[in-house]
Each structure stands twice: as C-alpha cells, then as structure tokens.
Structure 1
Amino acid sequence: MTYAMIWLIVLGISISLFRKAGGSLSILRPNLLSLVFYYSLFVSSFIGSLLIVTKTDQFYMMHKVPNDEYRLIGFILVCLVMIILPLTVYLLQKLIGFDAAKEFNHYFDKPVVLPFTKEKTEFYILFSGLSTICLLAVAYTMLKLNAIPLLELIKGSSNAGQLRIEASRGFQGNVLIRNIFAIALTPILSIIAFIFAHKTRELKWIVLAVLLIGASFVITTYDLSKSPVFFYMLSMILTAIYIGFVRLSYKRILLIGIAGFALLFGMYAALGANPSSFLSYNSGPIGRMFLSQIAPFYMHLQLFGNGFPFLEGSSFPGIINQMFDQVHARSGRVAMGYFYPEKVEAGTAGVLNTLFIGEAYANYSYPGVIMSILYMGMFLAVIYMIFLRLPKNPVFLGMFIYFTINIPRSVVGGFFDFIFNPLWIMISVFVFSVYFVIKVRIGVMDFLKNGKGAGQ
C-alpha cells in the first residue's frame, strides 16, 4: 500500500510537470514530450516498476534478480526520472523564456507552408534523387539477405526468432547503406513526400510518396520486428494530424487502438505465441509493454558492479571509443551475454535494452544515473524548443515527426546515443542538405543580383 501511494503521488507530480514542459498532455494533440511521458515512462517503465517493487510482476526476467534490494532501488530511481526529467525541461524553458503551451499550440494550429515556390522543380529533382538512392537501398537490402524472414514465415517457417537474428547480424551487404539509406532515411523521406503530396496535389509528389511509403513498409516489416512498423504507422498518423489531414477524437483514438492491438496480437499469433498469453499482464504483448522494457534495468543493477565491472564509458559509439583505444560495449549486449549465454550462442538473442538510466548506471554507477537524468532533460528541452521555432514546412516538419517518434523509442533503448548519435547526425545532414542547397543558391543569386544593381 505504501508503494502504491508513493507511486500515485509521483505520477501526479510528473503529470503536472510534463504538462507544463510540453505545453499539453492531451492525447488529441500529441507532441514529443507527451510521447516520452506516455510511452517511454508511464507505459514502458513506471507501471512495471510498481509491479516489480510489490513483487506482483511474476515476470521471467526478474528471476535473474535474486536480490530484492534492487527492486526497491530500481523503483526509487524510476520515480526520480519521472520527476527530475520534466522538472529539468521546465526549468530550462523558464530560464530561456519559452512558454511551452503558447509555442506548441501556435505551432500545432498553424498551416504548413511550402518552401521554394519559384525553385520547386529544382527541389523536387534533388529530393527525388535522394529518394531514388533510398529506394535502391531497400532493394539492395533485400537482395543481400540469405532469406527474407517475412517471406520465410509466409512459406511456413517456424524458426522466426533465428531468422530475425540472421537478418540483422547475418546481413551480407554494406551495413551503412542498409542502416542509413534503407532503414533510417526511407521512412523520413516518405513522410516529407506525403506532406508535399497533400499540399500540392501534384501527380509527381503523389507517385513519389506512394513509392516511398511502400518501401518503408517493406523495410519495417521484412525482419519480423514488431515495433518498427508500429512506430512507422504512428509517425504517419502523427504527420496527418500535424498537417490537418486528420483531426483526432476519442472515438478515433479508440478505433486506432483497437486496430493496433488487433494487428499486434495477429503478429504474435503468426510468430507462434501462445494465445493464452495475449491478455496476461506479465506475458505476451501486454507483458512486453509493461515489463519487458523495464525489467532489464533491474538486471543491470544486479550485474554491473557485482558480477561484472562498470563499463566506464565503453558504451560510447564505436567511433569515439576508437579515438581513445577503448573497446566498444553496449550494456544491453553485455547483459544479454551474461544472463542468457545459451540464447546468444544459439543466435536467437539480441540485446537487453531498457530505460536510459540502465546504460548510464552500467557505465558510471549511481552518479551516472543522476547526471543522465539531468542531461536528458536538457536534451529534450533544446530539441523541443528548436523544432517548435523552426518554420513549419515539409522538411522541418518531417524531421520533427521523425525525432518525435524516435526519441521516445531511444529513451528506452540506451543513454549514450543521446550524447553522440552518428546515425541521427548523418540523416539530418542528408535531409537538411537537400533543403539548404536550394537556400544557399537563392542567397547567392540574390547577392549577385543586388550587387550588380548597386554597381550600375
């Protein structure tokens, strides 16, 4: 009862702080911070933390954590995240003079403005060129697989888990082409093309949007991963909301939720899951939502500093570790190898990703946890403020949607990607370069024109 009271008090404080920091927590007007609250923290972490501290979880991963002390420690640390993270966002906004409610509502309601009315053909040529590269990258990814898991499943294969791992780790092609152009860029470009198609109603944009959306569904479903296609569909829904193509209502949210759960259950059934687990709170899709993301955090607490030394920065991206001659080691992969060596040996295990404080703890113990919460609050505040003050055009809005979806996903994936993320940097460079190449050309032409006129 005591834990439940603490949980409710923390939840009330967190809701208030997130509402102030995000400008809105309404599910009818979703934003970056509301998705972090609802998905990354409340559903994926906070509910499970109460089940675990009260020992009502009965979750298979928690059998690997025999020390009950970590159940309480983990609960306290998750509660700190729920309060300190939004408080940091809010205080930084107040320091800068940013009114989140005013800024967000203004951005949400204003129409999308098309850039380059005179240079629209040049922009389309550059954008379609980058899109062609991405479409070819998707085809390249499919050709470089020994077997496409989705097709093998349709053919009747029953070894879905191993097929998924082989598709990821047994890929025979260039990983950069797959990860950057196929997996990351294609969905982003499809969002931008969809916005242009909606605003211009031009056939060339409609055709390009259809091709990119189709390729995005291929690349988010081919390896049987369940979350990529759901998050891609969510990004398209969010895009439709932000451009005014769809207006949310509670009835529509209910219908979307029912359709989403039906699709999720269908995917679990297709992968051979036991139907009796579908409605269980600690197994199947519901258990995956409430416990699978947060339970590995407690495994991190049990492992690092006890059975395994702290990583002390080894989880930084490989490019940084190479500069300091340090071996790269993600905590989720280390934990998987320690707790489930047989699955790693069989090639059916991936990583034990969890709330970002798990990786922070694995590297720098409890001081790392506190510093990571403060850092994440500042990171979210800066990203949110920047995008709300950028022009609401298809390019900037497309990137905003991308980060609005992918930042909450990464919050329950690790911490060091928020310090230096080569993938986010590269895709930002590719997308923004298409926009700024035209901007720079316009600036140069205006300069030459004005200079010539002044000279005469």
Structure 2
Amino acid sequence: MMDIILIWFTVFILSTLLFKSAAGSLSLTKPNMISIIYYYSFIVSSYIGSLFIALDEDHFYMLNRLDHEEMRIYGFLIICFIMILFPLTLVVMTKLVGVNTSVLLTNYLEIEPDVKNHPYTSMFLVAFTGLSAIAVLATAYTILYTPVIPVVELIKGNSADLSSQRIEAGRNFSGNVLIRNIFGLMLTPILSLIAFIYFLKRKTMYWGSAFFVLLACSVFLYTYDLAKSPIVFYLLMLVLSAFFANAFKMNVKRILALGLVSISLLLAMYIAVQGPGAIASFMNYNSGPLGRLLFSQIAPFYLHLDAFTYSLDRLGSSGLPSFIAGLLETEQIRSGRVMMENVFPESIDAGTGGVLNTLYVGEAYAAFGLIGVVVLTIYIAIVVQAVYLLMLKLPKTPVTIAVAVYFTVNFPRTIVGGMADFLFNPIWTIVIAMCSVLLILEYYPHRIKNLLSFLKMKYSKFQIR
C-alpha cells in the first residue's frame, strides 16, 4: 500500500511540474487550456480515482464487474505512465518551437481584444446575422424532430421514466443528426460567445439582442435531454469568454462563488431528475456528482483493460473514426458501446444503456494495446499543444476568443471521452473553417477589399478581350 502511495505522490509532483512548464501557469486565477486539461481531465477525472482503485478503496459499482483484480494495479501503472508522458510531450514540443509559454500567456491575458469597426464590418455583421438565423432554425429543428423532450416532460410532471426518455431523445432523433450537431449544438454556443464578448465591450442593442437570443437557444440545447454537465461547461465558457476579453477578473472569492453556483446547479438538476433522495448521495465520494467526477470517467478504463486483455479481441482499425475506418473498408466500432454491451447487458435490454466512455487510453488500448496507448498519448499531446500555442499567437478578437474558449473547454472533455475525435473530427474542422471566414471578415477586411479589387481587375481585362 505504501509503495502505491509513494509512486502516486512522486508521479503527481513530476507531472505537475511538467504541466506547469507546458501551460505557462497552473494558477486558478489564470485558467488556460493546458491547466484545465491538467485539473479536470487528469487529476480530478483520472488520477485521484486511480489511487482509490489501486488501493481497492473505491467501492464503485462499475468495478464490481471487474473479473481480474490485478487490473487495478496494471491500470494504475498505465495511468502513472501517461501522467508523465503526456505533459513531457507538451514540454518537448514547446522547446522545439522555441517559445516561452509563460510570457505568451501573460501577454495574451493582458492584451485588449480588438472590437473596432473596420471597413467592410457590415460584411461581418451580415455573415454573423445569417449564421445566427441558421442556429435559431437548427434549435427549432431539434425541437421538432426530437420524439420526446425530457426537460419538458419534467416540467409537466411526467418524470416517472426520465432515464429511458433521455436515451430516446438521443438515440431516436428522427431528423438529420448533422444538422442538430453542427448547426445546433456546435454553432449556437460559439456564436453566443462571440455576441457575448461584443456585448461586453460595445454594449450595443444589436449585440445584446443577439446574445440573449443565442443564449436562450444554447441553454435549451444543453439541457433539453437533462444531461447535467453540459450546462455547467457552458457556464464555464461564458466565464472564460469574459475573462479572456478582460471584462472579468479571476480571484479566490470569485472562483469559490463560481464553484458554489456550479454545485448548486448540479444539485438542483440531480434533485429534479432523481428526486429529493439524491441529496443523501450527493456528497458521497463514490456516488452522486463527486463519484461521477472521481470514478465514472476512469473506472471504464479498467473494464477496457480487463475485457480487451482476457475476453475480447482488439478492435484494430475498427476502433478508428468512421471516416478512416471506411477508407480501410471496415466498420467503426466504439469501444465504449462494446463495453456497455459486455458489462451491463441488462441496461441495454432495458433501453437505458448508452456508452462507457473513458480516458482516451481506454479506446487506444481496445484498438491497439499498449503501443496504441503510447502513440496516441504523444499524438494527442502534440495536437493539444499546437492548438494552445496557436491560440496564444492569433490576433485577439471576439471570434478568436470564442474559438479558444470552445477548444479550451472541449479538449479536456474529449480527452476523457476517447481517442477517435482527435484522429478525425468533422465538427472541429467545420468550427475552424467557419470561424476562419468570420475572422477574415472581422479582422482582415482589407483582404476582402484587395480580393474584390483583384477580381474586378481580372474581370475588366476579360471583358476587354
């Protein structure tokens, strides 16, 4: 037992120093992409729980399905390994690029966002208004094609079978999933952040109206299926947007206040969905929100290790994103769904079983074993640090701030959701493409003017000929 605790503390200290070097700061008053990944994806969602699991002190219901108890130590050692390899890769990449992340982060936080009216700003407003209209229509489309809306049923008092209603709302959506996911769940919150930042800095009627409409749509999209964490993450996105826009200062009192608001919001949702009895388990370390944070994300990793070591064949290329698997002429199989079917078949039969997502190493191990764990750790760390450094280097405008906030919050969540989204993610690609166009219209309008002049000149020559 003492050996496990000693290893845990040693790795914790080394990992913290590496993450601090890669991020530039782990201070809670200077939140950034790497620090949130450190605190949320690794420390809270993975590393603390791994110690309890290794010591067999978790008493968590999922791990009652573990067939081979030695997986507790095996999994613990893998988690310790990636706690070093991941931030070490971040640091090595930063050194190779030759930048000082501490200086970059400080400069980024001090610079005021550019919200000036540039020539051709009207083109940006037209584009933003058009995208906002699409987002509102996508929200209406989601309402229209969702067979049952759990939050409405809860308000109406029909809360007898909310678990199956949540599954039905997600799996039996009768519309086009891409419209809902891209133009609703992705586009709407990002546009709301852009409008929010402009409203904070300009305080005009247009930006205020745009923000409140998009805010209402975003809140609905994040709560209609009664998922508890998305609305808290959206609140975090709003706070980070205000912070990066220099409209909100972080200090200990405000951080504690935000934590209290988040806990109260989660408690209210737990009581609404599960009844007053949920209060009793709310603060238990292995149940309620605390158990969900400490164990729900990491426990399935141990089940992955157990199953794909002893009873299930490796997924290989079938574990890759659907686009890549299609190119290799195989059908995508998500390990989280396989594990749910293998470990909790009764939930599948009852219609309440979804997926057992976990830290990305679970999906990597299910597909390619230990070599997959090593390669994917290095690859994901490179992607994360590249985006982080680019974020700190780009011009600071409402559009770039919104994109930075989007990835600052979504990268940590994706890391504890699997590896596939880091290999190929069409939604992230669309986010980058869409916001690149908005950035050009917002910050580089002279480029548009030059392009139009060039096209006019070429067209005139063509006419003369």
Query: TM-score over 0.5 for the alignment?
Result: yes
- Contact 2:45 2:295 (C-alpha < 8 Å) held by counterparts: yes
Judge which range, 442-451 or 370-379, deviates more. Answer: 442-451
Structure 1: how far apart are the matches of 2:70 and 2:266?
35
CA shift in 2, pair 1:405/1:382, >3 Å: same
SS at match of 1:150: helix
Name the counterpart of 1:384. Answer: 388
Instruction: Write the deviation string for residues 109-155 of structure 1: whole angstroms up to 9, x where unpaired.
Output: 11001266122222101111011001110011011122210010122
Judge which range, 204-213 or 116-125, deviates more. Answer: 116-125
Instruction: Write the deviation string for residues 327-361 of structure 1: whole angstroms up to 9, x where unpaired.
Output: 11111111111111111122111110100101000
Name the counterpart of 2:450. Answer: 443
- Contact 1:52 1:71 (C-alpha < 8 Å) held by counterparts: yes
Structure 2: how far apart are the matches of 1:281 and 1:145?
35
Please give the TM-score of this superposition, normalised by the length of structure 1: 0.96
Judge which range, 441-450 or 387-396, deviates more. Answer: 441-450
Instruction: Write the deviation string for residues 139-186 of structure 1: whole angstroms up to 9, x where unpaired.
Output: 110111222100101222221111111000011111111010011110
- Contact 1:315 1:330 (C-alpha < 8 Å) held by counterparts: yes
Judge which range, 106-115 or 220-229, deviates more. Answer: 106-115
Name the counterpart of 1:41. Answer: 42
Aligned-residue offset at 1:437: 5.5
2:276 is equivalent to residue 275 of structure 1: no
Name the counterpart of 2:147. Answer: 146
Instruction: Write the deviation string for residues 304-325 of structure 1: whole angstroms up to 9, x where unpaired.
Output: 1321100002122212222222
Name the counterpart of 2:355. Answer: 351
- 2:448 maps to a residue whose letter is R
Structure 1: how far apart are the matches of 2:232 and 2:453?
45
Residue in structure 1 matching 2:413, options 401, 404, 409: 409
Residue in structure 1 matching 2:343, options 330, 339, 342: 339
Matches within 5 A, 1:155-194: 155-156=156-157, 157-194=159-196
2:356 is equivalent to residue 372 of structure 1: no
- Contact 1:74 1:298 (C-alpha < 8 Å) held by counterparts: yes
SS at match of 2:316: coil
Judge which range, 62-71 or 312-321, deviates more. Answer: 312-321
Structure 2: how far apart are the matches of 1:159 and 1:115?
51
Name the counterpart of 1:27. Answer: 28
SS at match of 2:309: coil
Matches within 5 A, 1:195-234: 195-234=197-236
Name the counterpart of 1:60. Answer: 61
2:105 is equivalent to residue 98 of structure 1: no
Name the counterpart of 2:463. Answer: none
- 2:291 maps to a residue whose letter is G
Structure 1: how far apart are the matches of 2:23 and 2:380?
14
SS at match of 1:281: coil
Aligned residue pairs total 452
- Contact 2:22 2:34 (C-alpha < 8 Å) held by counterparts: yes
- 2:173 maps to a residue whose letter is F
Aligned-residue offset at 1:445: 4.0
Structure 1: how far apart are the matches of 2:147 and 2:454?
54
Instruction: Write the deviation string for residues 191-250 of structure 1: whole angstroms up to 9, x where unpaired.
Output: 011111222222111111111111100100000001111111100011111111111110
Aligned-residue offset at 1:71: 0.5
Structure 2: how far apart are the matches of 1:232 and 1:306?
40
Matches within 5 A, 1:254-269: 254-269=256-271
- Contact 1:301 1:358 (C-alpha < 8 Å) held by counterparts: yes
- Contact 2:150 2:169 (C-alpha < 8 Å) held by counterparts: yes
Same amino acid, percent of matched pairs: 42
Instruction: Write the deviation string for residues 44-94 of structure 1: whole angstroms up to 9, x where unpaired.
Output: 000000000000001100011131211111111111111111111111111
Name the counterpart of 1:327. Answer: 331
SS at match of 1:7: helix
Name the counterpart of 1:431. Answer: 435
- Contact 2:60 2:286 (C-alpha < 8 Å) held by counterparts: yes
CA shift in 2, pair 1:359/1:350, >3 Å: same
- 1:288 maps to a residue whose letter is R
- Contact 1:167 1:223 (C-alpha < 8 Å) held by counterparts: yes
- Contact 1:22 1:31 (C-alpha < 8 Å) held by counterparts: yes
- Contact 1:395 1:435 (C-alpha < 8 Å) held by counterparts: yes
Aligned-residue offset at 1:29: 0.6
Structure 2: how far apart are the matches of 1:36 and 1:368?
21
- Contact 1:116 1:123 (C-alpha < 8 Å) held by counterparts: no
- Contact 1:21 1:90 (C-alpha < 8 Å) held by counterparts: yes
Name the counterpart of 1:454. Answer: none
Structure 2: how far apart are the matches of 1:448 and 1:60?
65
- 1:167 maps to a residue whose letter is A
- Contact 2:317 2:328 (C-alpha < 8 Å) held by counterparts: no
Structure 2 unmatched runs, 5+ = 459-465
- Contact 1:85 1:374 (C-alpha < 8 Å) held by counterparts: yes
Structure 2: how far apart are the matches of 1:449 and 1:274?
67
SS at match of 2:68: coil
- Contact 1:21 1:86 (C-alpha < 8 Å) held by counterparts: yes
Name the counterpart of 2:81. Answer: 80
RMSD: 1.7
Judge which range, 431-440 or 8-17, deviates more. Answer: 431-440
Judge which range, 398-407 or 374-383, deviates more. Answer: 374-383
Instruction: Write the deviation string for residues 362-419 of structure 1: whole angstroms up to 9, x where unpaired.
Output: 0000111111111122111111111111000111111010000000000000012111
- Contact 2:282 2:288 (C-alpha < 8 Å) held by counterparts: yes
Aligned-residue offset at 1:442: 2.5
- 1:187 maps to a residue whose letter is P
Aligned-residue offset at 1:450: 10
SS at match of 1:366: helix
SS at match of 2:138: helix
Structure 1 unmatched runs, 5+ = 452-456
Name the counterpart of 1:130. Answer: 131
SS at match of 1:305: helix
- 1:147 maps to a residue whose letter is V
CA shift in 2, pair 1:115/1:363, >3 Å: farther
Name the counterpart of 2:239. Answer: 237
Please give the TM-score of this superposition, normalised by the length of structure 2: 0.94
- 1:339 maps to a residue whose letter is V
